[in-house]
């Protein structure tokens, strides 16, 4: 006995197919009835006249920018613990920060620590390629040179080197054996380099001429001093020290080592300060709230303000885009990457996406 449900369904399908075939119209028939200027869909989607091409391009660009700015606006409204903005949006946002120029940093993405340089939105170029560690790059004021620390002559002793901004002309600046030299910082006029060295047993702040022929110990203290940064006019230095016995604190002094003043005072560690380009602020890292976070304060030590709040460690802050933004390294994604944020801590954006360590970013305004 036939299955009535099957027969019924089969009849419905056949009836539907018959009705569809009765109303089927070919694409050619439709196009035949369209006006001549749009009858060819290929011509319509690919305008041939200059004015058509201009309006088509303009509409496409407006759509892309609208989507990008909408995503940025959405991210800005999220809590500070929000996740990282994807790379395509970061390219738009870095124009928002006016982040032209280049960023130097150290990374072990190639197997060991080396110096890399990148333009935002482009892949990073490797400037050093040595089995030993090359780390903590610092741009010269005109961005023609980079100073850095390296253990290439002796892995037990790190020394200062300089090279051109394309990685050529690598040479030792100062021979400090025995001892280590880290954290170079060029003076605003490019004639001197401040750095930390333990050649005398403990870390002190030294200043050398840019050729490495002369050097001076300007702190001469039994405690440890390090990570110097020049004021924009070259008259003073901000640095970190453990001289009070409670941990690392931020201090300021004249460029000859006199008039030392303490800016921070707590039982945690305040480290890696950097003077702002305008000379009115100092950015630094601190673990006073548990994890390492980025803080900013006035040059008098007042108005100490926490800028980052996302879980994870945020370290080695550096001013960028003439003081309107701050570069830093963070482990918030589970890996050490480089980020940028506004000078008030707003809109943090991830700039690198590479397994391993990307740290110690420093900005150069010259492309």
How confident is the model over 32-63, as pLDDT tens digits?
443 443 334 334 344 455 565 555 556 656 66
pLDDT of residue 177: 66
- Comparing CA positions, the residue from 155, 99, 114, 2 lying closest to residue 347 is 99
Query: In angstroms, what CA-CA distances link 139 with 237, 264, 365?
Result: 17, 27, 10
SS3 content of the chain, % helix, strand, coil (to 5): 20, 35, 45
- Comparing CA positions, the residue from 342, 339, 343 lying closest to residue 105 is 339
pLDDT of residue 61: 61
Residue 157: strand pairing partners: none
What is the domain class of 78-364 according to CATH?
mainly beta
Task: Give one word for 268, left, alpha or beta, with left for phi > 0 and alpha for psi -120 to 50.
Answer: beta
The ranges of the chain with pLDDT < 50 are 1-47, 76, 78-87, 89, 93
Extents of the domains making up the chain: 1-46, 78-364
HSE value, Cβ hemisphere, 13 Å, CA-based, for 236 = 18
Residue pair 203/225 in contact (Cβ under 8 Å)? The answer is yes
């Amino acid at each position: 006995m036939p299955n009535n449900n099957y027969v019924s369904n089969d009849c419905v399908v056949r009836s539907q197919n018959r009705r569809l075939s009765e109303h089927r119209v070919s694409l050619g028939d439709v196009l035949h009835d369209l006006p001549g200027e749009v009858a060819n869909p290929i011509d319509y989607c690919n305008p041939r006249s200059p004015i058509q091409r201009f309006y088509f391009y303009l509409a496409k660009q407006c759509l892309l920018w609208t989507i990008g700015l909408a995503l940025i606006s959405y991210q800005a409204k999220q809590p500070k613990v929000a996740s990282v903005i994807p790379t395509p949006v970061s390219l738009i946002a870095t124009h928002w920060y006016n982040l032209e120029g280049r960023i130097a940093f150290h990374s072990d993405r190639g197997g060991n620590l080396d110096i890399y340089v990148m333009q935002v939105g482009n892949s990073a170029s490797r400037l050093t390629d040595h089995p030993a560690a090359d780390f903590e790059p610092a741009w010269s004021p005109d961005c023609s040179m980079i100073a850095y620390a390296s253990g290439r002559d002796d892995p037990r002793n790190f020394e200062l080197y300089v090279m051109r901004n394309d990685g050529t002309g690598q040479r030792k600046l100062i021979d400090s054996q025995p001892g280590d030299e880290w954290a170079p910082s060029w003076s605003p006029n490019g004639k001197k380099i401040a750095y930390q060295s333990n050649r005398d047993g403990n870390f002190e702040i030294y200043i050398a001429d840019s050729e490495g022929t002369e050097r001076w110990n300007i702190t001469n203290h039994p405690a440890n001093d390090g990570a110097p940064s020049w004021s924009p006019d070259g008259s003073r230095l901000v640095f970190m020290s453990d001289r009070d016995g409670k941990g690392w604190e931020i201090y300021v002094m004249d460029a000859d080592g006199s008039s030392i003043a303490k800016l921070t005072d707590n039982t945690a560690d305040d480290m890696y300060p950097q003077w702002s380009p305008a000379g009115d602020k100092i950015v630094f890292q601190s673990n006073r709230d548990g994890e390492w976070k980025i803080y900013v304060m006035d040059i008098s030590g007042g108005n100490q303000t926490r800028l980052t709040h996302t879980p994870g460690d945020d370290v080695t802050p550096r001013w960028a885009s003439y003081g309107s933004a701050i570069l830093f390294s963070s482990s918030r994604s589970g890996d050490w990457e480089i980020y940028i944020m506004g000078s008030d801590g707003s809109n943090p954006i991830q700039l690198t996406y590479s397994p391993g360590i990307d740290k110690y970013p420093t900005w150069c305004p010259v492309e």
